[in-house]
């Protein structure tokens, strides 16, 4: 079971990192990205940041690459904005849950069409 502190910290990190991506990063590789959720370890030292990216695969790869190269800068800004003893090490990953959802709904739609005929 997750601790309340880690859940609160996850929500806070999602909000703060989203704001930093929208307003604070000037890297041209970073496209339109939205932080969907964060998986934080129980010791609050490491965080997987899942990002939903609008665009094709090459844009998504360059956005993830840009975010991972800026993670030191992001951690520094988080350290200034948040009063935490330790800022978790960030690892940005592409969130593919929406793509899976689209694929499943498309397959279910095809099954329904076949069943109606």
62-85 tens-digit pLDDT: 999 999 999 999 999 999 988 888
Q: Which residue ranges in the chain fall short of pLDDT 70? A: 1-3, 117
- pTM score of the predicted model: 0.79
Edge-first strand listing for the sheet containing 33-40: 33-40, 46-53, 89-94
Residue-level pLDDT at 72: 92
Residue-level pLDDT at 117: 61
Residue-level pLDDT at 48: 94
Report residue 8 as tokens: 């609160």
Residue-level pLDDT at 1: 44
CB 49 within 8 A of CB 91: yes
Residue-level pLDDT at 3: 61
- Rounded-to-integer distance, Cα 57 and Cα 61, Å: 6
What are the chain's domains? 4-116 (3.30.300.20)
């Amino acid at each position: 079971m997750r601790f309340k502190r880690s859940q609160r910290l996850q929500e806070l990190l999602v909000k703060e990192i989203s704001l930093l991506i929208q307003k604070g990063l000037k890297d041209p590789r970073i496209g339109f990205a939205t932080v969907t959720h964060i998986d934080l370890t129980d010791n609050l030292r490491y965080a997987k940041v899942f990002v939903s990216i609008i665009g094709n695969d090459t844009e998504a790869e360059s956005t993830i690459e840009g975010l991972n190269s800026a993670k030191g800068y992001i951690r520094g800004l988080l350290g200034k904005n948040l009063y935490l003893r330790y800022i978790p090490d960030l690892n940005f990953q592409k969130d593919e849950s929406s793509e899976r959802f689209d694929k499943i709904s498309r397959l279910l739609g095809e099954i329904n069409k076949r069943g109606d005929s």
